[in-house]
Amino acid sequence: MSGSQLWDDVDFYFTTHLSPDDEALQACLRDSEAAGLPHVNVTANQGKFLQLLAQIQDARHILEIGTLGGYSTIWLGRALPADGRLISLEYSAKHAEIATRNIARAGLDKVVEVRVGPALESLPKLADENPAPFDLVFVDADKANNPHYLEWALRLTRAGSLIVVDNVVRGGRVVDSESIEPDVRGTRAAIEMIATHPRLTGTALQTVGSKGYDGFALARVLA
């Protein structure tokens, strides 16, 4: 059995027992695929992981940067109390439209808001609203801007908030200090910011599974 097939089989075993999709999640994936959205959403295991992180945080306010079809948004939204709030920023109007339908079908339209436009334009507008600090921020958008998203996450959170940055391994390319690829440079800058910023402490973990070889970074905001 090949390594990748074994990863898939283990993912299937864990998903079947610990994070099975329900109809709303399955419909979200079906509609996203039918609309031609890229297959870059988190897996069910990863979605359940995000949900558990939000629950451990006792999160009431969540910020997501990068909505895609709303699959991760649904997992995160289900961790919120009835009076919680999740704001998800999506560059593509097409993606946002599909995500909004998927979120409504999951019964989360009262707690989730999808905002359309470049995140680096949406974030200053959000800050101008002086929202309550976000308890958890999930960064899963264009990787070149990861350090900028991290900076904004710091502005919009509080001591004790959690920031999760997805897809930080880049298939192993993250170790290439000479890379000129924007995704690698942006990811390395975010990792180095977590390492050196006085208000952050964090780590990164490599993952394997049905999406291949990847990983994520976790950062906790300090006082």
Q: Per the structure block, which two tokens stand in for 187?
A: 């990811």
Q: How far apart are the first and last CA of the chain?
A: 49
Amino acid residing at 19: S
Residue 151: strand pairing partners: none
pLDDT score of 2: 66
pTM: 0.96
- Give the separation between CA 193 and CA 213, rounded to whole angstroms: 23
6 has a pLDDT exceeding 70:
yes
CB 16 within 8 A of CB 62: no
**Exposed/middle/buried for 220, CB within 10 Å: 0-12, 13-18, 19+?**
middle
pLDDT digit string (tens) for 117-164? 999 999 999 999 999 999 999 999 999 999 999 999 999 999 999 999
Please give the backbone phi and psi of residue 164, each rounded to the nearest 5 degrees, phi first.
-115, 125
- What type of residue sits at position 190? A
- For 221, the token pair is 């905001």
Other CB atoms closer than 10 Å to residue 223's CB: what's the count? 7
What are the pLDDT digits (tens) for 49-72?
Answer: 999 999 999 999 999 999 999 999
